[in-house]
Amino acid sequence: MKKKTKGQNLKIARILLPLLMAAFFGISSAYAQRAPIDVNLIIDGSSSFSGVKTEVTSWVSSRLDQILVDGDKLTIWVAGSPSKVIYSGADKEAAKKSVNDLSPSGNSADFSGALREAASKQSSTYSYTLLISASPAALSSVLSGPQANLLKFSRVEEFNSWRALVVGLNLDTKVKKASTAFFAQ
């Protein structure tokens, strides 16, 4: 059997990684046929969020209807100072109400704390984490801090005054294991 060169392995990895990411984030028509997952919603709790609350609340409501299926466990974090859980369960309407009732305050958003806790409480094989930020400064502190690796696998959707990041919590370990197993063949 011919041994693969490092260049061939790199080409395979460039093809395999996007496919793995696409499968993980559910870019398929089979949303309702997947196994239950942990869904984390982390919302900016700083005063920066006040100006975009109505737009975000509407967007989050429609997004929850799109991503949640029976059996999913939803946890909503407010990234204030400090971060805290404001909802945990499977009732979409109760979750939407908790987002609507959110009262942002303070000058900082503790995304690092919420990300760290969400990563440590993962109970299913996969999780879907959506981070809503209205404060560029809050994201800067995460990117320069010890939880920066948690944002390593993210998709960013930009809006007028806020952004939504899909974060693959603990995904780096799974991708490394899958890559190692694939290249060991």
State the average pLDDT over residues 1-21.
Answer: 65
Predicted confidence (pLDDT) per residue in 21-56, tens digit: 666 665 544 444 778 889 999 999 988 899 999 999
Range of the structural domain that residue 102 is part of: 33-183
Angle at 153 between CA 182 and CA 147, to 5 degrees: 120
Residue 1 included in any domain: no
> For residues 106 and 99, what is the distance between their CA atoms, to the nearest angstrom?
17
Residue 97 included in any domain: yes
pLDDT at residue 134 greater than cutoff 80 = yes
Is the pTM here over 0.85, yes or no?
Answer: no
Residue 47 included in any domain: yes
Residue 4 included in any domain: no
154: helix, strand or coil: strand
Q: How many domains are contained in the chain?
A: 1
Q: What is the pLDDT of residue 172?
A: 64
Residue 173 included in any domain: yes
Spatial contact of 122 and 38, defined as CB atoms under 8 Å apart = yes
> For residues 39 and 124, what is the distance between their CA atoms, to the nearest angstrom?
10
Residue 46 included in any domain: yes
Q: What CATH number is associated with residue 147?
A: 3.40.50
Cα 183 to the center of its chain, rounded Å: 28
Q: What is the pLDDT of residue 29?
A: 46
pLDDT band at 13 (very low <50, low <70, confident <90, very high): low
Residue 105 included in any domain: yes
Measuring CA to CA, how many Å separate 103 from each of 45, 57, 91, 98, 160? 8, 12, 21, 10, 21
> For residues 145 and 76, what is the distance between their CA atoms, to the nearest angstrom?
22
Predicted confidence (pLDDT) per residue in 58-115, tens digit: 999 999 999 899 889 999 999 988 889 999 999 999 999 999 999 888 888 888 888 8
Residue 7 included in any domain: no
